[in-house]
Structure 1
Amino acid sequence: MTTPELESDACYLALKAHDARFDGSFFTAVTTTGIYCRPVCKVKTPRRENCRFFRHAAQAEAAGFRPCLRCRPELAPRAASWSTQDASRILALQAARLIDEPDAWPDAAEGDAPGAARIAQRLGVSDRHLRRIFEAQFGVSPLQYLQTRRLLAAKQLIADTQLPMTQVALASGFASVRRFNAAFIEHYGLNPSAMRRAGEHENGAGRRQAIEVRIGYRPPYDHAAMIDFFGRRALRGVETPLPGARPGYARTLRVTHGGATHTGWLRVEIDVDRQQALLQVSESLAGVLPIVISRVRGMLDLDAEPMAINATLHASFPLGDGVRVPGTVDGFELAVRAVLGQQITVAAARTLGSRLVEALGEPIETPIEGLTRLFPSPAALADADPDLLGRMGIVRQRQGALQALARETRDGRLRLHAGADVPLTLLALQALPGIGDWTAQYIAMRALRWPDAFPSGDIALQKALGVGGAKAAAQASQAWQPWRSYAVLRAWHTPPAAATSNPQDAPLADAVTT
């Protein structure tokens, strides 16, 4: 089924130009080969009459096409999963986001990925209603969409790791190796071991010391601003910027999923020529590679759709077309750092965060200089002695906010990830002591990946917009919906003419209350 809203001639022109702006926005299936590709694929351009165009990879696979081993559709940026349009479209995109985000199901055991019935239950609708609106939006059923996601996740593990096939199957959401093998043969016409051999031949890949993955993004992308954002906030022991001809960023991380905890490190660089992020991950995280990749996509905002965003924001921020919204690989960590950063400068918040890591962070060995600790776990912070926190320079009111946040996260009542329900999470955050609107909106912007978050009380934002007060800032932002998170970052990167200091170092407006 070809998605009707796609303009085939425009798609073919983008394919001929290998235009990375459209990467992940559609896929081209070639009838003479039975293979579907990304628009950026470097193979010889097929004849127009042999091409079919699909909005989603799941549609191409449902039509009987196999993914290209060269351009690897699983590496393409994901399509937008937010909408302010009609309720049915919003619900369908929410369902897709729950399928796309493995962190939405942290308690699922290996091989127990959610099915359509569980997704419908999470959204509060019937299975039948979800299938109807999902098929209207995506052209495939939730089960077909989910199956494609599982297969593409498995394909990436097969290509980029040496994990045994049993682990590949379970990590990708298959309940058994038998079902995994059957799905592969049915969809791709060869078994997983044969695909691994074919991929090694195609890519010249052999056994490597660490996992290496390429993840595509759509230009323009101000990667220098992104790396600088993380570098200026880097906590000692946990993260470090990587200087050089191709600047990058490295950090440690902890992934808890299905009752098991995995720890390790990652490093990432931006390949501007290929419009790709080059991700290297420690072997200790191989079993949760789909989760790590999803988190890195969010951290670097690799799935952003600049053409849609710039259509709304370019007139107001003409120099900000490539600016993205920095995310996080750990929603709890981001929330803690947001609380620590209330009413103080970036440098002061970095100092407090580094002290917290030194006192409560678990040691870890890595091959990267400067990466020696994990960020403190929710349990470690929840159980910390208040006197110890006080000696770090964390005032009592902020201690209460941090430990309440840690307890809610530790006990599973608060989930801070891209698959979370935004309105409910905002309410839960603001019900905690010491967390007001600014902090909640900032967390929604970076941890929940909500593109329309807007911390109107931020003093630096108000100055950049040339307005006085939160109400005036909120009124000024209405024309930027649903991309106000991007407007915030662009405003921070565009200080007013009379500014004498960097707006990102200005005090933030959220007062800590008890």
Structure 2
Amino acid sequence: MDESSRYEAVASRDARFDGEFFFAVVTTGIYCRPSCPAVTPKRVNVRFFPSAAAAQGAGFRACRRCRPDAVPGSADWNVRADLVGRAMRFIDDGVVDREGVAGLATRLGYSARQVQRQLTAELGAGPVALARARRAHTARILLQTTALPVTGLAFAAGFASVRQFNATMREIYGATPSELRARARGHAAPGSGGAPGGIPLRLAFRGPYAAREIFDDLAAAAVPGIEEIAGSPGSRTYRRTLRLTYGTAVAEVGERPGRPGGPAGSGWLDCRLHLTDLRDLPTASQRLRRLFDLDADPYAVAARLAADPLLRPLVAARPGLRSPGAADPAELAVRTVLGGPPERAAALVRAYGKPLDAPDGTLTHLFPTPDELAAADAGEGVRALCAALADGTVDLEAGADRDAAERALAALPGVGPAAAAVIRRRALGDPDVGPPGPAPAEAERRRPWRSYALQYLRHAGLGAGAAREPDDHDPKDIRDHAALHAA
């Protein structure tokens, strides 16, 4: 988009571009998302930025009405496999906060200078500024939803000192931490990470969102002990345990989307996190975003796939259909290679998983780590996969090289092509996973959204079970999987 097109999107308050770019008003010193409901500023007073961090670096503070720091991230970072796309996935997963820029550069296989240069060229901000914007957003959530003392809250959000925390919040939000907390008064009473109420979050998405279908998928594959679905269709709650960097969590996500702008507008899923360590809040929320595919661009997906005669009516029937990811990539990979019904994975959980300190409803365990499963009696494929995950031969982290991961998976005994495709699509969040082997012309025309094409075909019943992934060990699934991709 050129600047004229961006200004037209701002003037029409087009939510399709929220997170794709940001605009700032020089006369007010405020930056916003394109759909901000405030009066449209004059074109001469508007500046455009590729990221919230770039707008903050230029001296603009976040709008209080549209909260531009809370919008979904750009879908480009899920599509792109280059340095910038991988770096953004790593930053969102908290790598810079935990390991610094040097750790990020090492994971990417580039020098810190190269990473800084490329991110600045494309996003107007380097890795430190991008991570800083992420920390500030986390701190605002904690200020407005918990009663934590400011000192503890600052370190929980990832800041190195209280002075740095105070200065950053004043710079980005134009208010002190105490003032930000005061604005939340009159809303729901703040709680704490370990309190029964947990931390309430709104997990934002853009465009339509087919919640029923993704909850159907999760319900069909839920593993007892680590996952559960409560309630009836339309008002279900998905609950699961999470193993995180500093502690553990129980996450709850509601099915019914909140929508401020009408049935077709952007909205959010209500979430509640019960954390044993508040430093895990950013990572936990990001993993849930990947599980529910909340950073997708349904407008781009629909525009591409609707050009396919077979998919056109399917896209129209299910606007906003998403391709679910994984809350824990290693867990998803093990479950995929293990195959079979959820009870098979539940048996591994009971035998090798770590019990929670206290059961939470039907949630009793954490899924076992690859180290814990290395000697499990779960078949050659699972043992080989866990050994490869434990020694780093297979890397499934957020910004991993997807091609390298697939090659490493293909080299493992007991891991078939269907399983490798599912792992790439879900554990690595690749939106463009097609059938193993040479792709037919129809599939090539669906790039870069072949993972979504698969979802539309599955939910239309054109192949393997709509709510179940293909099993490499089931001959019928192998036949159905091939037929599905050939559709």
Q: Do 2:244 and 2:284's aligned partners in 1 also have CA atoms closer than 8 Å?
A: no
Which residue in the other structure is 1:461 paired with? none
State the TM-score, normalized to the length of structure 2: 0.83
Aligned pair count reads 457
**Selected match of 2:190 from 185, 202, 207:** 207
1:491 aligns with 2:457: yes
Aligned counterpart in structure 1 of residue 160 of structure 2, from 175, 178, 185: 175
Question: For the residues of structure 1 that align with 2:144 and 2:295, how far apart are their CA atoms?
Answer: 21
CA contact (8 A) 2:298 2:321 kept: no
Q: Partner residue of 1:395?
A: none
Is 1:381 matched with 2:364? Answer: no
Give distance in 2, aligned partners of 1:66 and 1:506.
Answer: 45
In the alignment, the residues of structure 2 paired with residue 415 and residue 172 of structure 1 have an alpha-carbon distance, to the nearest angstrom, of 27
Instruction: Describe the superposition over 1:465-507 as per-residue Cα deviations: whole angstroms up to 9, x where unpaired.
Output: xxxxx54x544311122221112212212334xx7x8455585
In the alignment, structure 1 residue 307 sits paired with structure 2 residue 299: yes
Distance across 2 between alignment mates of 1:365 and 1:304: 36
1: CA distance, partners of 2:417 / 2:214: 25
Residue segments in structure 2 that go unaligned for 5+ positions in a row = 192-196, 261-266, 476-487
SS of residue paired to 1:25 = coil
Instruction: Note if 1:419 corresponds to 2:402.
Output: no
Aligned 8 A contact 1:242 1:250 in 2:
yes
| Partner AA of 1:7 in structure 2 | S
Secondary structure at 1:29 match in 2: strand
Task: State the identity %.
Answer: 37
Alignment partner of 1:219 is 2:199: no
Please state how far the C-alpha of 1:298 moved relative to its aligned partner: 0.3
- Shift of the 70–480 alpha-carbon distance from structure 1 to 2, 3 Å rule, reads same
In structure 1, the gaps of 5 or more residues are 342-347, 390-398, 458-469
> Of 292, 295, 303, which residue of structure 1 is paired with 2:287?
295
- 1:200-279 to 2 correspondences below 5 Å: 200-201=184-185, 204-208=187-191, 209-244=197-232, 246-257=234-245, 260-274=246-260, 275-279=267-271
Contact 1:37/1:73, CA 8 A, preserved across alignment: yes
Q: For 1:477, give the aligned amino acid.
A: A
- C-alpha deviation, 1:10, in angstroms: 1.8
CA distance in 1, matches of 2:288, 2:224: 20
Match of 1:59 in 2: 54
In the alignment, the residues of structure 1 paired with residue 304 and residue 65 of structure 2 have an alpha-carbon distance, to the nearest angstrom, of: 35
1:146 maps to 2:126: no
- 8 Å CA contact 2:157–2:279 kept in 1: the answer is no
Matches within 5 A, 1:109-508: 112-115=98-101, 117-198=102-183, 200-201=184-185, 204-208=187-191, 209-244=197-232, 246-257=234-245, 260-274=246-260, 275-284=267-276, 286-316=278-308, 317-318=311-312, 319-320=314-315, 321-341=319-339, 348-364=340-356, 369-384=361-376, 386=377, 389=378, 399-454=379-434, 456-457=435-436, 471=438, 473-496=439-462, 502=465, 508=471
Shift of 1:73: 2.6
Kindly tell me: are residues 20 and 401 of structure 1, through their superposed partners in 2, closer, same or farther at Cα, counting changes over 3 Å? same
Q: Which amino acid in the other structure matches residue 453 of structure 1?
A: V
- Pairing 1:101–2:83 present: no
Partner Cα distance (2:342, 2:120) in 1:
47
- Distance in structure 1 (CA, Å) of the matches to 2:283 and 2:3: 31
Please, which of 82, 88, 91 is the counterpart of residue 83 of structure 2?
91
- Give the TM-score, by structure 1 length: 0.79
Note if contact 2:19-2:33 (Cα within 8 Å) is conserved in structure 1: yes
Q: Contact 2:406/2:424 (CA < 8 Å) preserved in 1?
A: yes
Residues 68-103 of structure 1: CA deviation (Å, up to 9, x unaligned)? 344333321101244888x9xx3233322222222x
SS of corresponding position for 2:365 = coil
Contact 2:288 2:327 (C-alpha < 8 Å) held by counterparts:
yes
Distance 2:21 2:221 in 1: 36
Partner of 2:485: none
Cα deviation digits, residues 152-194 of structure 1 (max 9, x gap): 2332333333344444333433333333333334444443333
**Aligned amino acid, residue 229 of structure 1:** D
Residue pair 1:436, 1:511 contacting (<8 A) in 2 also: no
Aligned in 2, Cα 1:171/1:482: closer, same or farther, shift over 3 Å? farther
Q: Which amino acid aligns with 2:388?
A: E
Structure 2 vs 1, CA of residues 474 and 507 (structure 1 numbering), >3 Å: closer, same or farther?
Answer: same
CA distance in 2 between counterparts of 1:181 and 1:144 reads 16
The CA distance in 1 between the partners of 2:248 and 2:343, in whole Å, is 27
* SS state at 2:241 partner: strand
- Change over 3 Å in CA distance of 1:510–1:139 after alignment to 2: farther
Q: 1:298 to 1:242 in 2, by over 3 A?
A: same
Is the contact between residue 79 and residue 85 of structure 2 (CA under 8 Å) also seen in structure 1?
Answer: no
By how many angstroms is 1:229 displaced? 0.5
Instruction: Rate the CA distance shift 1:20–1:427 in 2: closer, same or farther, 3 A.
Output: same
> Could you say if the C-alpha distance between residues 409 and 122 of structure 1 is closer, same or farther in structure 2, counting changes exceeding 3 Å?
closer
Does the 8 A contact of 1:11 with 1:53 survive in 2? no
**Taking structure 1 as reference, are residues 149 and 293 closer, same or farther at Cα in structure 2, changes over 3 Å only?**
same
Instruction: Assess if the C-alpha contact under 8 Å between 1:444 and 1:453 holds in 2.
Output: yes
